[in-house]
């Protein structure tokens, strides 16, 4: 939406990061079999701009699983309104920690 853009009409990077965080936390929730919290974004690369009207998709892949943490590589791709196919626009490494109902770290309980 226009409220999510800079004066040049490009979508704010913070909006993209929030979408990646939502995708990553949903993905991590299933790996951890419960609640997770974002603890780090180790790397983030903005490769191309995202424009109003682009269809945005985030894709997740497990990088590593520790005792209480899960690192996930997240890529964001767009389908432009004016062209066929998709383009990768961002990539980042996000780390989530499994937490209990009091917000304290807990062991990751992996289900197969």
Q: Which of 62-71, 83-92, 94-103 has the lowest mean pLDDT?
A: 83-92
Share of the chain above pLDDT 90, in %: 79
At residue 61, the pLDDT reads 98
Residues 6+ apart with CB under 8 A from 68: 97, 98, 105, 106, 107, 108
Say what the pTM is.
0.90
pLDDT at 39 > cutoff 80:
yes
101 pLDDT more than 80: yes
CATH fold, domain 2-98, is Thiol Ester Dehydrase; Chain A (3.10.129)
What's residue 112's pLDDT? 55
* Cα angle value 66/67/73 (rounded, 5°): 25
């Amino acid at each position: 939406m226009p409220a999510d853009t800079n004066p040049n009409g490009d979508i704010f990077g913070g909006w993209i990061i929030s979408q990646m965080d939502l995708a990553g936390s949903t993905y991590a929730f299933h790996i951890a079999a419960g609640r997770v919290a974002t603890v780090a974004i180790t790397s983030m690369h903005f490769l191309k701009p995202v424009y109003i009207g682009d269809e945005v998709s985030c894709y997740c892949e497990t990088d590593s699983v520790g005792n209480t943490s899960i690192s996930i590589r997240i890529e964001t791709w767009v389908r432009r309104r004016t062209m066929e196919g998709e383009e990768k626009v961002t990539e980042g490494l996000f780390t989530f920690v499994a937490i209990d109902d009091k917000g304290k770290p807990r062991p990751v309980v992996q289900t197969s």
